[in-house]
Structure 1
Amino acid sequence: MKKFIVTGALHGFLAVALGAFGAHALKEVLDDYSRGIWETAVQYQMFQATAILIIGLLMSSKILGEVKQLNLAGIFFNLGIVFFSGSLYVLAISGVKVLGAITPIGGVLFLTGWVLIIVAALKHAR
């Protein structure tokens, strides 16, 4: 579906931009620990952005079509990026460690999205 192709591409774009921003503009601002947090956020954002793109392509093709589980997976990946990567970006810059408590919510959303893709494939693949 078009919305997942667009949001996946947007998240991919932002992952590249934020990765470059972290490597260059924040080079002197972040310590090694915070830089590692920033890089983790970028990596997971790009992984899930790719998954969102694939969901959009699967939904627009005749492979799986518009399957409820794929739609939910795309939503969960989008929300997961906000909770997981978003909390890590803010944590890396602010150093407010309580934000680390939000990150696992995003991780659970990611895991749920992957399980939903498996379910969609098992239930609806021809």
Structure 2
Amino acid sequence: MMAAARFFLMAGALNAALAVMLGAFGAHGLRGRLPADLLAIYQTASQYHVYHALGLLLVGLLALHAPTNGALRWSGWLMLAGVLLFSGSLYLLAITGQRWLGAITPLGGTAWIAAWLLMAWAARGVAR
């Protein structure tokens, strides 16, 4: 699982960098080009992207202390899935205006809820 810890630490750091880049693009490159409602959707995607990049870093750090914890590994994969489904669908919705993409967003939110619950479950073994 040390490889998993390394993977989630790297995924968290790379997602944090990507979230900052996409957030800056939204704030500077899309302002004035998107209507206010779509810009707000884009900002929500960026905000939650940052939160869950930090969540991935936390998974990686916990995995250093609990290298065989399967719930923790699942938590990390669900965090990544949530970034793609939630933030990814909102980024695309904002840029393309395709409202049907909003139907994908709750799947990402559900993945994140499951990820945080699995992290809580996994943490009980780490704190012993």
Q: Determine the structure 2 residue equivalent to 1:59.
A: 63
Deviation at 1:66, TM superposition (A): 3.3
**CA distance, structure 2, for counterparts of residue 5 and residue 125 of structure 1:** 20
1:45 to 37, 42, 49: 49
Contact between 2:86 and 2:107, CA under 8 Å: does it hold in 1?
yes
Which of the numbers 25, 43, 60 marks the counterpart of 2:29? 25
Residue 96 of structure 2 is matched in structure 1 by 94
TM-score, structure 2 as length reference = 0.93
1:122 matches 2:102: no
Q: Helix, strand or coil for the counterpart of 1:27?
A: coil
Q: Is the 8 A contact 2:15 2:50 kept in 1?
A: yes
In structure 2, the residue corresponding to 1:115 is in which secondary structure? helix
- 1:15 partnered with 2:19: yes
Letter in 2 for 1:72: W
**What one-letter code is carried by the residue in structure 1 that aligns with 2:58?**
I
Give the C-alpha shift of residue 19 in structure 1. 0.5
Other-structure match for 1:85: 87
RMSD, aligned CA: 1.0
Task: State the TM-score, normalized to the length of structure 1.
Answer: 0.94
* Conserved 8 A contact 2:9-2:61: yes
| Identity level (%) | 43
Gaps of 5+ in 2: none
1:124: Cα distance to partner? 4.7
Q: Provide the secondary structure at the position in 1 that maps to 2:30.
A: coil
Conserved? CA contact 2:23–2:43, under 8 Å: yes
In structure 1, the residue matched to 2:70 is 68
Kindly report structure 1 stretches of 4+ aligned residues shifted beyond 2 Å.
122-125
What CA distance in whole angstroms lies between the structure 1 residues aligned with 2:125 and 2:62?
A: 14
